[in-house]
């Protein structure tokens, strides 16, 4: 897996996928660049998992180009790739540590290295005392942690995560996000399939929003926010906010107001106007439309089809 300097690590071009007479992906194109964290977003049935499975050769694409590292993926190249599928797969009748060591050996690690790494990881995620317990005796969240450890234990160049925080409580979701950040900071390219927008805003450099097999938005988080959202201004103040043709008051109460700038107004000009009108401004902060709001906007305007 040695793409050229300017070649994307993941390249999808004019991808189409049909199951029988049902077209589930239509002319989808996107790139994932080396070292970035890419959010692949969409509601259930939008085609996310189908795209990932086609990229990995689990499904045969109807048409198009799907490359990892400049060529189609093949299983013998999996040493540099970590894949956490939506449906987890572990040997649940075996001890947790034994399963991790087994997968570590499959990934090319020595037994001693796989053992040490696994024990450290289990301690890190709070289940070190469960190392000798059979996997089917672990909770679903604990099993997910084990699956994540197996996915990242070979320090993959590309990490593909399909709904990595599914079923996690807020504490464990935060822990998982920290682990993903560590992988990113170490130079791993991360392709994350999710519909958790707060995770995307925290982690992702660029995103693609997929709906009914078509790309509805593609770019940096800021670009998507600019395209589909707007920028409001949150003002902490003492006194009443006066009306003005230069902004619109969206909501206000006592010591707070949210306003929307007019088409020819800037944040600086609005702040100046407020101060000159006698408003005591305690705080003044621009706020972009959240990805969560954009997600609702995109996926709420027409019915979402069921997965084929």
Burial of 88 (0-12, 13-18, 19+ CB in 10 A): middle
CA distances from 233 to 270, 279, 287, 288 (A): 9, 15, 6, 9
| pLDDT at residue 198, rounded to an integer | 82
With tokens 């519909």, the residue in question is: 195
CA-CA distance, 142 to 129, in Å (whole number)? 12
| pLDDT at residue 306, rounded to an integer | 42
Q: Is 124 left (phi over 0), alpha (psi -120 to 50) or beta?
A: alpha
Q: What tens digit of pLDDT does each residue of 137-146 get? A: 998 889 989 9
- The model carries a pTM of 0.81
CA-CA distance, 235 to 257, in Å (whole number)? 5
| pLDDT at residue 308, rounded to an integer | 40
Q: State the CATH class of domain 10-226.
A: alpha beta
**Residue boundaries of the structural domains of the chain:** 10-226, 230-288
| pLDDT at residue 307, rounded to an integer | 41
- Taking residue 124's Cβ as centre, other Cβ atoms within 10 Å add up to 15
| pLDDT at residue 54, rounded to an integer | 95
What is the fold, at CATH topology level, of the domain defined by 230-288? Alpha-Beta Plaits (3.30.70)
Burial of 204 (0-12, 13-18, 19+ CB in 10 A): buried
Cβ-contact 149, 84 below 8 angstroms? no
Question: Is there a common fold for 10-226 and 230-288?
Answer: no
Which ranges of the chain have pLDDT less than 50? 303-308
């Amino acid at each position: 897996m040695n793409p050229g300097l300017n070649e994307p690590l993941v390249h999808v071009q004019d991808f189409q996928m049909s199951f029988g007479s049902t077209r589930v992906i239509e002319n989808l194109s996107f790139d994932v660049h080396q070292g970035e964290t890419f959010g692949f977003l969409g509601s259930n049935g939008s085609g996310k998992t189908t795209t990932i499975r086609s990229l990995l050769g689990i499904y045969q694409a109807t048409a198009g180009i799907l490359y990892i590292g400049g060529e189609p993926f093949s299983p013998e190249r999996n040493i540099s790739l970590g894949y956490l599928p939506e449906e987890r797969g572990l040997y649940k009748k075996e001890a947790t540590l034994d399963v991790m060591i087994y997968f570590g050996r499959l990934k090319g690690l020595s037994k001693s290295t796989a053992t040490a790494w696994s024990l450290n990881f289990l301690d890190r995620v709070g289940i070190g005392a469960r190392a000798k317990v059979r996997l089917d005796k672990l909770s679903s969240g604990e099993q997910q942690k084990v699956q994540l450890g197996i996915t990242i234990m070979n320090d993959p160049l590309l990490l593909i995560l399909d709904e990595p925080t599914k079923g996690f409580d807020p504490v464990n979701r935060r822990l998982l996000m920290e682990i993903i950040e560590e992988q990113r900071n170490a130079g791993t390219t991360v392709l994350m399939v999710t519909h958790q927008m707060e995770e995307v805003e925290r982690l992702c450099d660029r995103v693609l929003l997929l709906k009914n097999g078509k790309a509805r938005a593609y770019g940096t988080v800021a670009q998507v926010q600019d395209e589909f959202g707007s920028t409001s201004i949150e003002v902490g103040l003492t006194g009443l906010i006066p009306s003005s043709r230069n902004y619109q008051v969206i909501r206000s109460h006592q010591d707070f107001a949210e306003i929307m700038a007019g088409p020819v107004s800037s944040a600086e000009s609005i702040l100046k106007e407020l101060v000159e009108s006698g408003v005591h401004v305690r705080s003044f902060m621009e706020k972009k439309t959240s990805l969560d709001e954009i997600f609702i906007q995109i996926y709420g305007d027409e019915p979402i089809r069921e997965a084929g």
